[in-house]
A and B are shown apart, each in its own frame.
Chain A
Amino acid sequence: MITGALRQTGRLFALAAEVTRAVFRRPFQFREFVEQFWFVASVTILPAALVSIPFGAVIALQVGSLTQQLGAQSFTGGASVLAVIQQASPLIVALLIAGAGGSAICADLGSRKIREELDAMEVMGVSPVQRLVVPRVLATMAVAVLLNGMVSVVGTLGGYFFNIILQGGTPGAYLSSFSALAQLPDLYISELKALIFGFIAGIVAAYRGLNPRGGPKGVGDAVNQSVVITFMLLFFVNMVLTGIYLQIVPPKGG
Chain B
Amino acid sequence: MGIEVVVEGLTMSFGKQNIWQDVTLTLPAGEVSVMLGPSGTGKTVFLKSLIGLLKPQQGRVLINGVDMVSSPERDIYETRKLFGLMFQDGALFGSMTLFDNIAFPLREHTRKRESEIRRIVMERIELVGLLGAEGKLPGEISGGMRKRAGLARALVLDPQIVLCDEPDSGLDPVRTAYLSQLLIDLNARIDATMLIVTHNLDIAATVPDNMGMFFRRNLVTFGPREVLLTSDEPVVTQFLAGRREGPIGMSEEKDAALLAAELDNPATLPPAPRVIVPQLEPSPGLPPRAAVGRRRERVLGMLDRLPHAAQAAIRDTYARDGAAYTLPKRERITGSGS
Contacts and interface: CB of A to CB of B under 8 A. Distances in A.
A125 interface: yes
A221 interface: no
A247 B104 CA distance: 52
Chain B interface size, under 10 / 10 to 19 / 20 to 34 / 35 or more: 20 to 34
A135 to B, nearest CB: 14
Interface string B82-99: 010101010111100000
B83 A123 contact: yes
Contacts of B77: 125, 127
Contact of B85 (A115, A120, A131): A120
A117 B94 contact: yes
B51 interface: yes
Nearest to A127: B77
Interface in A111-145: 112, 115-117, 119-120, 122-127, 131
A151 to B, nearest CB: 31
Contacts of A117: 91-94
A131 B94 CA distance: 16
A115 B104 contact: no
Contacts of A124: 80-81, 104-105, 108-109, 153, 157
Given A115-B94, A116-B89, A117-B91, A123 B53 contact: yes
A119 B87 contact: yes
Interface string A186-226: 00000000000000000000000000000000000000000
Nearest to A126: B108
B255 interface: no
10 contacts: A112-B94, A115-B91, A117-B92, A120-B91, A123-B51, A123-B53, A123-B83, A123-B85, A125-B77, A125-B78
Given A125-B109, A126-B105, A126-B108, 19 more contacts: A112-B94, A116-B89, A117-B93, A117-B94, A120-B85, A120-B87, A120-B92, A120-B93, A123-B51, A123-B53, A123-B83, A123-B85, A124-B80, A124-B81, A124-B153, A125-B77, A125-B80, A125-B81, A125-B105
